[in-house]
Chain A
């Protein structure tokens, strides 16, 4: 198989780990719940320091105590009794390219992604070029004193930094899946930008998709020190396919005084995925946190990036788009806590639902007692492409200071027949006309993305829309 030949150093290491896994799986076959033994085994395999091993055990205890959330989209399709299957998928089930579903293969084809990259994007193999690019980027930013590495290496090489921040912002007590993450996390990215350093090229986690276990329970930890700036891009718009269909990642972002961080995500999991990702940022005095988010894939999503504006004049901006098609229930939103004077937040969300897809946008704004002079503006716009689809907006505001300014604006629309007629009178087919209208609706988000991602997003919209016309 082509993909095997392309395997890199890291993947070879992978192999041996998987071999051990096989044995483990057999040994724990009778136990369906997540046990201390399994978590311990993960910890041993990863060569965790003692404190991390303890941390995992503590998180497991919390996991076993917490209930599954019932306030959002149904998680019935998740077999929580057999959680081990998600945590430790049997290596025999390791995916082969031939087994990747046809629709995903087609999407690669139509997105024009080179053959060599497809296997890697689908999560079934390694991609040599990406590795090279990753190493090059690493070298380049290293000269600036930036640390950019995977979480496992960070744990070995920068243990104190990791220990000081790891799951301090998102604690295992937050919810059941945060606890699960704490117990079984694996892979992910670690970035530290020293004071005053501005990283000009965006760093992309996409380069290292092939790290062990990445993409299921990966942990991202980013610290942007005083006055520094960084743009980090997570994921890729091509679909990622995994045998196991639970994703419970965790993202923790620390934006120090006067620093700036932009965190962009284009998420396109395959449509059997339960995406229960937790993302949080702590934003210090005069610092800026910018979220750019595109959610296209997965069956069910619970995704609410949260920002805690804890220093004076801290700012948060969120620009996001959600596209829910047939069988998708994407529950997204933004949380912001204004915990200091003159903090500002601005969120702009767009959602598109079609073929019975369901989009929910929850905005939760907390204005603390200290938030004197704080400002918040929320705007959400939904586009429903047919009468079967659904779009909800759920704003929640908790205001404890009289001297704040909050605005909320919500709009729901449909594509008008007259607009389609106008576009068709200019030679566009109905499908092309709809795709153009939807791309136009998504344009404010595309504008915020690096060009290649914006193009890929537009291409993705076109594919989705063409599919709906038949």
Chain B
């Protein structure tokens, strides 16, 4: 039996005193790919932020365990160092800091030791190439003036460079054209291994066509109302979320 990576129990999360997650349970084992689907406002992004530990998202009840350790109240940077990564739906722009130096600082922080500059540069160049990113982007300020597609690629690039144990992809496929979805999916595939896990948040199924999925969870109004295998995706496409929840 494979090892449990993330365990969420009875999680209640509020933002500005408004309940968003209302008692959520989720267990992700090493090597698994999980998909969270649900209508707008169901709490999908909140789940991603809560796992990463955004200070605005208050945990009212329940717990988060990562590799058996309680991280419910752990700082975001500590979670990152433990191996959790969140690919943002709308990544922040950082003027004056190049993509290359940002990823370097981040990799140094996550790995907790200085990295070899030459090897790093080579790895970065190769990874960018695999994502079809122009090498010029390495010297550009992080996400500043990047198109929607380039921002998403920049997120996947960071995921590949940091090689986390758990990667949460929050709507990584939204706003991408078909070709970009293919490239991003290939990147995600390249990342996937027996030792890491993925939690893909989406309300769209394009990205899923290229990936092997273990579990699909339907999140409606702050709760997981249904869990199944990849075939659940077809149900959603046919019937919509509302009808699923009525069943």
Given contacts A424-B77, A427-B77, A444-B96, contact A417 B109 (CB under 8 A): no
Q: How far is the CB of A428 from chain B (nearest CB, A)?
A: 5
With contacts A424-B75, A426-B162 taken as known, whether A419 is within 8 angstroms of B94 at the C-beta atoms is yes
Complex interface: stretch among A260-268, A371-379, A429-437: A429-437
Given contacts A426-B80, A427-B80, contact A419 B92 (CB under 8 A): yes
**Nearest-neighbor residue (CB-CB) of A433 within chain B:** B77
Q: Does A36 contact B (CB under 8 A)?
A: no
A98 proximity list for chain B (CB < 8 A): none
Give the chain A neighbours of B77 by CB distance below 8 A: 424-425, 427-430, 433
Chain A residues lying within 8 Å of B106, measured Cβ to Cβ, are 426-428
Cβ distance B24 to chain A, nearest Cβ, rounded Å: 20
Enumerate chain A residues within 8 angstroms of B80, measured Cβ to Cβ: 424-427
Docked Cα-Cα span, A162 to B147, in Å, equals 57
Docked pose: A428 CA to B56 CA in angstroms:
18
Which residues on the B side are within 8 Å of A443 (C-beta)? 95-97
- Residue in B closest to A421 when the chains form the complex, CB atoms: B54
Contact status A426-B94, CB under 8 Å = no
Report if A102 contacts B (CB, 8 A).
no
Q: For the complex, give the distance between the alpha carbons of A334 and B97 in Å.
A: 27
**B158 on interface, CB distance cutoff 8 Å:** yes
Task: List the B side residues contacting A423 at CB < 8 Å.
Answer: 92, 94
Which residues in A have some Cβ–Cβ distance to B below 8 Å? 416-419, 421-430, 432-433, 436-437, 439-444
A436 and B94 contacting across the interface, CB-CB below 8 Å? yes
Most buried by A among B56, B75, B95, B110: B95
Inter-chain CA distance A416–B88, complex, in Å, is 16
Instruction: Specify which chain B residues have a CB less than 8 angstroms from the CB of A422 in the assembled complex.
Output: 88, 91-92
The answer to whether A440 and B92 have CB atoms under 8 Å apart is: no
10 A-B pairs whose Cβ atoms sit less than 8 Å apart in the complex: A425-B76, A426-B80, A426-B106, A427-B109, A428-B109, A430-B75, A436-B105, A437-B94, A440-B96, A442-B96
Q: Number of contacting residues on B, CB 8 A?
A: 27
Q: Which of A426, A436, A437 contacts B110 (CB 8 A)?
A: A426
B200 an interface residue at 8 Å Cβ cutoff?
no
Q: Closest CB of chain B to A263's CB: distance in Å?
A: 23
In the complex, per-residue mask of B4-17: 1 if CB is within 8 Å of any chain A CB, else 0: 00000000000000
A434 CA / B80 CA spacing, docked (Å)? 17
Find A418's partner among B79, B92, B110, B162 (CB 8 Å cutoff): B92
Given A441-B95, A443-B96, A428 and B105 touching (CB < 8 A)?
Answer: yes
B217 to chain A, nearest CB (A): 22
Check A439–B110 contact: CB distance below 8 A: no
B66 at the interface (CB under 8 A from A): no
Closest Cβ of chain B: how far from A469's Cβ, in Å? 12
- CB pair B76–A421 under 8 Å, yes or no, is yes
- How far, in whole Å, are A419 and B109 apart by their CA atoms in the complex? 17
Interface string of B70-103 (1 = CB under 8 A from A): 0000011101110001101001101111000010
Determine which residue in A417, A422, A429, A442 has the highest number of CB atoms from chain B within 10 A of its CB, and name it: A422
**A437 vs B88: C-alpha distance when bound (angstroms):** 18
A313 vs chain B, min Cβ distance (A): 32
B175 partner residues in chain A, CB cutoff 8 A: none
A425:B97 contact, CB within 8 angstroms: no
